[in-house]
């Protein structure tokens, strides 16, 4: 019995140390948009990897990026095309798959690998150059008109491929059921509105929620934490 407990303890400690090590690598490999962009600008032919799925990449991506990730069937062949002596820049919808990829590149002997904090949301959301296969359904002028013509407006900006964004939807339904037509709810996805998100220039991560009252921003937050509570408090202050 003692031997079993001892082995379980050792296993747990090993797992904990492994997770700590990964977290440290994750932190050191993830850089801000300013650092990421400046490093790319310093390269003549930057090696940029989109670590999302092919369907996501086809809709929008950073100019000059190639698409593959850890689950790609030709992963090793794709890696062989890269120069290990030069920096590699990875990104995904946020900073999940891109962090894993950057970590794997370093383990395989690449000199430098950087993951973009906030992912494609941060890049497009701050107006950096990108490719999109369709025009936005919503323009900045139309958006501003919605804000002006409605007293209270709650805006949800995200992506259909974003796991965290999906958690916002049931919260929005609860808010919608409570306030009805007294609160205008606008849901904006990257896939339908890439240029609009770029023109807005205030998005750093998905999802981002913005509440307007009489044309002014009451709060701008990332994620669903306390969203319902914050909306209730803000709307109670007429």
For the annotated catalytic residues, the residue numbers are: 162, 165
Give the whole-angstrom CA distance, residue 75 versus residue 105.
11
The tokens for 80 are 């062989």
Give the whole-angstrom CA distance, residue 70 versus residue 57.
15
Gyration radius of the chain over CA positions: 21
Give the whole-angstrom CA distance, residue 21 versus residue 107.
13
């Amino acid at each position: 019995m003692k031997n079993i407990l001892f082995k379980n303890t050792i296993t747990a400690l090993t797992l904990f140390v492994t997770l700590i090590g990964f977290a440290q690598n994750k932190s050191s490999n993830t850089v801000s948009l300013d650092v990421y962009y400046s490093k790319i600008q310093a390269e003549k032919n930057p090696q940029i990897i989109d670590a999302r799925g092919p369907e996501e990449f086809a809709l929008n991506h950073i100019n000059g990026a190639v698409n593959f990730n850890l689950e790609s069937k030709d992963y090793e062949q794709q890696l062989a095309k890269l120069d290990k002596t030069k920096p590699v820049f990875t990104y995904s919808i946020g900073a999940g798959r891109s962090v894993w990829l950057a970590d794997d590149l370093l383990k395989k002997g690449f000199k430098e690998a950087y993951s973009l904090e906030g992912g494609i949301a941060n890049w497009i959301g701050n107006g950096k150059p990108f490719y999109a296969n369709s025009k936005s359904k919503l323009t900045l002028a139309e958006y501003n008109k919605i804000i002006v013509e409605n007293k209270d407006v709650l805006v949800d900006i995200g992506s259909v491929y974003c796991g965290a964004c999906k958690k916002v939807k049931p919260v929005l339904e609860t808010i919608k059921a409570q306030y009805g037509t007294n609160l205008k709810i606008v849901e904006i996805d990257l896939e339908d509105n890439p240029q609009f998100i770029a023109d807005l220039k205030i998005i750093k991560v998905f999802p981002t929620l913005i509440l307007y009252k009489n044309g002014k921003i009451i709060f701008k937050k990332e994620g669903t934490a306390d969203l319902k509570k914050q909306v209730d408090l803000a709307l109670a202050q007429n």
